[in-house]
Amino acid sequence: MRQEIKPAESWYEATVTREEYPALRASIDADVCVVGGGFAGLVTALECQKRGLQTVLLEGGRVACGASGRNGGFVSSGFALGVDGVMAKVGKQAAQALYQLSRDGTEYVRTVITAHEPSLIHGSGMRVALRHRDTGGLKSYADMMRADFGETLRYSTAEETRLHLVSPRYFESVVSENAFHIHPLAYGLLLARLATDAGVAIHENSRATSCRKEGSSFVVTAGGGQVRAKHVVHCVSSLSPDLHRPSGQAMLPVATYVAVTNALQQDVIRTGAAIADTRRAGDYYRLVKDGRLLWGGRITTRVSEPQRLAALMLGDMLSVYPGLGTPRIDYAWAGLMGYAIHKMPLIGRDAEGQWYATAFGGHGVNTTAMGGVLVARGIAREDDAWRRFTPFAPRWAFGQLGRLGVQGSYWWMQAQDRWEEAKSA
Ligand SMILES: Cc1cc2nc3c(=O)[nH]c(=O)nc-3n(C[C@H](O)[C@H](O)[C@H](O)COP(=O)(O)OP(=O)(O)OC[C@H]3O[C@@H](n4cnc5c(N)ncnc54)[C@H](O)[C@@H]3O)c2cc1C
């Protein structure tokens, strides 16, 4: 089924009003120059300015035009690398400290939105469901998260799960009450407003093309001007790998996709919570305003949008919920995430003194807030909690070869997922 979709416009873009920020046209001085106006850059800039540091933010396109304004809108604690992976690398105690930082990120988002624009929260709770029969793993995971990480995950049997998600595809699930879901682009625009109100100078359409050290300062060239600053923070995700090579070359771009339907009359998704499944490249979705279904899924390392994206996404929805009726896809779009090889954020300072807060992968709404605050505290010399990420330092991601490797491993993991599902069917 081929459907026309509105080109390059997301449902998020269609439901906000943007302010314009002027392009950089002069040479200016600042204490801090933040490069990249996604969540990571915006929180970093806001938090630096709040600490009395005169801050300039350079954004190559429009504020939050990257992953930050295109994502699923799920806000939950943790990292793209699950807690098991974090524990395997740094041990339980350090993993607990890192998890607490990620939880601080979740609370940061909640606090900012609740204080300024509570209507950006679309719903609360997140249900994570299995697509194959449980052999006890999910329940013991929930018990471990409660005992070791203080996270309450409510376990549901397959029968209970299917009362909320009426689909034969689902089995057991857990609900995280602390999670919630938001309008991510509106949150990004709110951060930009708060930052400018605090005194940050934001410049859109000001793509940074180089950053060099001159004496004890850094000079960032962008568009028709340049910024000379004592500190520079790179927050460009995987989009400008050559600007700051230590972090840029340590990341791989990974694409994922979102579609939004028309307003639905349906009785198969009976929850206002966000929903995800536990597959390696699983579906994530939620009901948004007016009964529209926002559906995310699929992962590739190609950066161009696949043809027939709307039809592919529609097929995914109907394969889970044949009872959805005849939804129409009104919007469909792609977004690019940045992943380090170890799947943890890259947060730190290089040998020359340049800061970076990037590589938040598919778990970036909470962790960008965490990363921005950590870097601002580091620059303001409040503390060096950012060093908790030293075990996850940037490592070269093997360029094009790395991309092929990621694509191959996703195909392999998808095959494993299908095999597990087939055994439970
Ligand atoms: C479709 C999709 C769904 C997702 N769903 C979720 C979810 O539900 N929950 C969750 O927690 N995470 C999710 N994520 C991940 C999350 O969106 C990202 O981890 C997070 O937004 C990354 O923020 P960022 O600021 O690092 O990067 P970005 O938002 O990509 O921002 C980088 C910015 O840098 C700018 N830039 C690039 N180069 C330059 C340059 N040279 N000069 C100036 N500016 C430059 C870009 O224009 C861009 O605005 C999803 C991601 C995608 C793509």
For residue 423, the model assigns a pLDDT of: 75
For residue 334, the model assigns a pLDDT of: 92
pTM over 0.85: yes
Q: Let me know if 372 is exposed, middle or buried by CB neighbors in 10 A (0-12, 13-18, 19+).
A: buried
Which two tokens mark 244? 């700051």
- The Cα 110–Cα 121 span in angstroms is 8
Atom of ligand 1 nearest to the CA of 181: 8
To the nearest whole percent, how much of the chain has pLDDT over 90? 83
Distance 155 CA to ligand 1 centre (A): 31
Beta 217-222 vs 208-214: how paired, if at all?
antiparallel
Distance 294 CA to ligand 1 centre (A): 18
Distance 162 CA to ligand 1 centre (A): 33
236 lines ligand 1 (CB under 6 A): yes
| DSSP H helix total and E strand total for the chain | 11, 17
Domain positions in the chain: 11-424
Which two tokens mark 49? 């300015």
pLDDT in tens, the chain (425 residues): 444 444 458 999 999 999 999 999 999 999 999 999 999 999 999 999 999 999 999 999 999 999 999 999 999 999 999 999 999 999 999 999 999 999 999 999 999 999 999 999 999 999 999 998 877 789 999 999 999 999 999 999 999 999 999 999 999 999 999 999 999 999 999 999 999 999 999 999 999 999 999 999 999 999 889 999 999 999 999 999 999 999 999 999 999 999 999 999 999 999 999 999 988 779 999 999 889 999 999 888 765 666 688 899 999 999 999 999 999 999 999 999 999 999 999 999 999 999 999 999 999 999 999 999 999 999 999 999 999 999 999 988 777 777 777 777 777 777 777 777 777 77
Q: Phi and psi at residue 69, in whole multiples of 5°? A: -100, 10
Atom of ligand 1 nearest to the CA of 222: 42
- The dihedral sign for the CA sequence 322, 323, 329, 331: negative
Distance 39 CA to ligand 1 centre (A): 7
Q: What is the pLDDT of residues 43-63, one digit of tens each?
A: 999 999 999 999 999 999 999
For residue 3, the model assigns a pLDDT of: 44
248 lines ligand 1 (CB under 6 A): no
Residue 210, SS3 per DSSP: strand
Distance 415 CA to ligand 1 centre (A): 28
For residue 197, the model assigns a pLDDT of: 98
Distance 74 CA to ligand 1 centre (A): 14
Residue 314, SS3 per DSSP: helix
Pocket test for ligand 1, best of 68, 181, 232, 288 (most atoms within 8 A of CB): 68
Atom of ligand 1 nearest to the CA of 209: 41
Q: Which fold has domain 11-424?
A: FAD/NAD(P)-binding domain (3.50.50)
